Amino acid sequence: MIITEQKRFEEIDKFLSFHSSVFICGCSECATLCKTGGEEEVKEMKEKLEKTGKTVAGWVILEPACHRLNDMKFFREHKKEIDLSDAILILACGNGTQTVAGILEKPVYPGCNSLFLGEIVRFGNFEERCQMCGECILDITGGICPVTRCSKSLLNGPCGGSENGKCEIDPEIECGWQMIIDKLKNMGRLDTLRSIILPKDWSSSRDGGPRKFNITKATTASDSKENLLEEKIEIEKMEKIASSTPDSKLEKILREEKFALTCELGPPKGADPKPVETKAKLLKGFADAVNITDNQTAITRMSSIACAAILLQFGIEPVVQVVTRDRNRLAIQSDILGACGLGVRNFLCLSGDHQKFGNHPQAKNVYDVDSVQLIFALNRMRSEGKFLSGDKLSSPPSVFIGAVENPFADPFEFRAIRLAKKIAAGCDFIQTQAVFDVEKFEKWMSILKDEGVSDKVYILAGVIPIKSVGMARYMRDYVSGVSVPDEVVARMEDAKDPKKEGIKLCVELINRLRETDGVKGVHIMAVAWEEVVPQIVEEANLLPRPG
């Protein structure tokens, strides 16, 4: 059913202020159940309008408002009252309002806001269930829609922010993927999620003008689904094609089985390149490659590709982060080609922090593809010389494809499967969420080994130097997907010099991670504290770096 809410009466009174006589239409179905446009609500609206001096010439409950043929019958029956009216007020969904507006030659006004397509959870409570995307995959996901239930509409599993079965953007929201995984696990069908779900065909939902469907004509949905299944099989057969002479320095170091080191650089919130140049000079020689974040924490910053171009001028190899939150597949593939044209070879594929956390919470997220599908797109460009659409490139890019993985996020048991999907899609290396709980991280690495995953991808363990007690507490209590043991917080609380202690802790973690089976390098995320990276690298005995 279509869930609606009635507009504030002040708003209704304002747009009806130019009219003296009104005819009211309600709806017998959705609006009645939502108590926004049934007989009771229509009568209440009549009384309110009459108190303002309006004449209500008549009213009717349409059965339902979106049924054009029924509406025409009702309007014939109420022709006299309608003729006496200056305007029509519709207490129904937007579809019903438009249906009436297409029949009557009078001003038609909406008395309700249409919210979503959902179900009645209990009396007076409704939840969204379907976005009518035109390409249903409920057969794969246990009858639970990830497009609707997941805040990012991810199709290949949860992001790294799920915690205790809740979504990172709101503890009141159930993690859609946790629900899917629990349902399939109980049914003994969890293996259905091992296959990669390809990028969705949004053309059947939101784009290309109003959708139409003729029940008398045969559809081709079954044909398109067969093609989709065929392409899934091809994904499972696909083998990554590594160049004989890597263009990426990071790739070369990892292939030569040397311990790799990457770090992170956060772009400025302005147009001045000097902050990037300053950080570049600081980090040069202390890392094999430097990540450029892409509007991290959903805050608008200088383009990651532009910053990468600056790093290249200083002889530093960049890793360009690409999030799917802000751009569709057309823009992303264009950006990849542009970055490659500038000399970038390393790309890190992420879904990105939800825009609710950033400085534009009003923005519309994109999530046209998820991170697994983005990896597949880059691998297809590299290995097959084709765009995601299947069109041929004039020249394929040489790219080293990275991704992120969170060993600590819920559901913990699904993390190995999600990583396996990224590897199958074409991922070459991963950088993990920050490791503080080494025992849990080692347990995750053990699961990867049992799954036969750890030897198919280069794993760089993430570390974050903690600069204060407040930072340690905040990460422990508020950052979803980060596991900070209480003993780490206690250690920072007892430290006479928290910054010095944070650096010492980071060095100890690096040394322990170097001894962890399957770890091929570390990724230092010195959040807004890049100047400490050289000290950490030196104290961890990671110098000199390989040439």
Confidence at residue 134, expressed as pLDDT on a 0 to 100 scale: 80
468-517 confidence digits (pLDDT tens): 999 999 999 988 888 999 999 999 999 999 999 999 999 999 999 999 99
176-189 confidence digits (pLDDT tens): 999 999 999 998 98
* Residues 538 and 467 sit within 8 Å (Cβ to Cβ): no
Output the six-digit token pair for 488. 């780490």
At 215, the pLDDT band (50, 70, 90 cuts) reads low
77-96 confidence digits (pLDDT tens): 999 999 999 999 999 999 99
The yes-or-no verdict on residue 209 having pLDDT over 80 is: no
Angle at 20 between CA 14 and CA 22, to 5 degrees: 85
Sign (positive or negative) of CA dihedral 465, 471, 477, 481:
negative
Residue 1: CB atoms within 10 A of its CB come to 16
**Mean pLDDT across the stretch 277-298?**
96
Identify the H or E element spanning 429.
Answer: strand 429-434
**Mean pLDDT across the stretch 7-14?**
95
Sign (positive or negative) of CA dihedral 111, 115, 119, 122:
negative
Confidence at residue 217, expressed as pLDDT on a 0 to 100 scale: 59
Residue 2 CA to residue 115 CA, distance in Å, equals 7
Confidence at residue 213, expressed as pLDDT on a 0 to 100 scale: 60
Sign (positive or negative) of CA dihedral 480, 485, 489, 495:
negative
Distances (CA, A) of 209 to 68, 203, 206, 224: 20, 10, 8, 21
Give this prediction's pTM: 0.84
The yes-or-no verdict on residue 224 having pLDDT over 50 is: no
54-65 confidence digits (pLDDT tens): 999 999 999 999
Residue 278 CA to residue 258 CA, distance in Å, equals 28
Burial of 151-189, coded b for 16+ CB within 10 Å and e otherwise, reads bbbbbbbbbbbbbeebbbbeeeeebbbbbbbbebeeeee
**Mean pLDDT across the stretch 429-442?**
96
At 282, the pLDDT band (50, 70, 90 cuts) reads very high
Q: Which of 154-168, 210-224, 321-335 has the highest mean pLDDT?
A: 321-335
**Mean pLDDT across the stretch 148-169?**
90
Q: Which of 218-222, 305-309, 477-481 has the highest mean pLDDT?
A: 305-309
The yes-or-no verdict on residue 74 having pLDDT over 70 is: yes
The yes-or-no verdict on residue 7 having pLDDT over 90 is: yes
Nearest of 378, 386, 438, 383 to residue 403 by alpha carbon:
378
The yes-or-no verdict on residue 154 having pLDDT over 60 is: yes
Residue 237: CB atoms within 10 A of its CB come to 8
Confidence at residue 229, expressed as pLDDT on a 0 to 100 scale: 39
Confidence at residue 534, expressed as pLDDT on a 0 to 100 scale: 97
The yes-or-no verdict on residue 240 having pLDDT over 50 is: no
Residue 89 CA to residue 96 CA, distance in Å, equals 11
Confidence at residue 218, expressed as pLDDT on a 0 to 100 scale: 45
| Residue found under tokens 């996020």 | 409
351-394 confidence digits (pLDDT tens): 998 998 899 999 988 999 999 999 999 999 999 999 999 999 99
Least trusted range by pLDDT, from 30-34, 122-126, 463-467: 122-126
Confidence at residue 233, expressed as pLDDT on a 0 to 100 scale: 37
Q: What is the mean pLDDT of the chain?
A: 91
